């Protein structure tokens, strides 16, 4: 079996709510080689109720400048579109100040730099939500993830 690439593993984690069991991941995607998830810019280990898990990370953030010329190296997407799929400002004649186009030239280039071009909008949403503090109330990641697990159970 050929081990998965970092990008494939990151996509897999994002598709699974942003965190997976380390053992399952290493066994199923890494050919049993835990070194593949050693890149701490992308994969962060933590423990939940004694279960080792890996969470997906990125240094990519959203640009919050209106009419940004694009030199920011951040993603140009309206927060409302990213997190809820619709934006209240699109019904106004003036429209929304932020891009509703994930596949714009700028975004495709930025996603390529971060090796995230294979992520779907949903996967990207998961990744950015758990990585960008400005998008969340100030809770730490563990509490967020604990919350997610509890929600999953009901």
Residues at the interface with Zn ion (CB under 5 A): 63, 68, 72, 78, 80, 87, 89, 96
Q: From the CB of 114, what's the least distance to Zn ion, in Å? A: 14
Closer of 109 and 147 to Zn ion (Cβ): 109
Largest Cα separation within the chain, whole Å, is 55
Residue found by looking up tokens 């991941």 in the block: 25
Where b means 16+ CB within 10 Å and e means fewer, 126-139 reads: bbbebbeeeeeeee
Residues 42, 54: Cα–Cα separation, whole Å: 10
* Joined tokens for residue 94: 């003036």
Taking the CA of residue 151 as centre, how many other CA atoms within 13 Å lie in the half-sphere pointing to its CB?
7
Q: From the CB of 58, what's the least distance to Zn ion, in Å? A: 16
Closer of 94 and 151 to Zn ion (Cβ): 94
Q: From the CB of 42, what's the least distance to Zn ion, in Å? A: 23
Closer of 80 and 129 to Zn ion (Cβ): 80
Where b means 16+ CB within 10 Å and e means fewer, 28-47 reads: ebbeeeeebbeeeebbbeee
Question: What is the edge-to-edge ordering of all strands in the sheet holding 51-56?
Answer: 19-21, 51-56, 43-48
Q: From the CB of 93, what's the least distance to Zn ion, in Å? A: 14
Q: From the CB of 112, what's the least distance to Zn ion, in Å? A: 16
Closer of 68 and 129 to Zn ion (Cβ): 68
Closer of 48 and 87 to Zn ion (Cβ): 87
């Amino acid at each position: 079996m050929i081990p998965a690439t970092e990008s494939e593993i990151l996509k897999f984690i994002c598709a699974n709510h942003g965190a997976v069991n380390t053992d399952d991941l290493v066994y199923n995607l890494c050919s049993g080689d835990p070194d593949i998830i050693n890149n701490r810019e992308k994969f962060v280990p933590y423990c939940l109720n004694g279960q080792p898990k890996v969470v997906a990370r990125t240094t990519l953030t959203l640009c919050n400048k209106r009419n940004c010329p694009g030199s920011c190296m951040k993603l140009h997407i309206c927060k409302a579109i990213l997190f809820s799929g619709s934006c209240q400002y699109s019904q106004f004649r003036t429209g929304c100040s932020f891009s509703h186009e994930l596949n714009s030239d700028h975004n495709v280039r930025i996603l390529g730099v971060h090796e995230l071009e294979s992520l779907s909008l949903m996967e990207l949403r998961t990744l950015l939500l758990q990585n960008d503090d400005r998008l969340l109330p100030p809770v730490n990641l563990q509490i967020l993830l604990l919350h997610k697990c509890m929600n999953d159970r009901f």
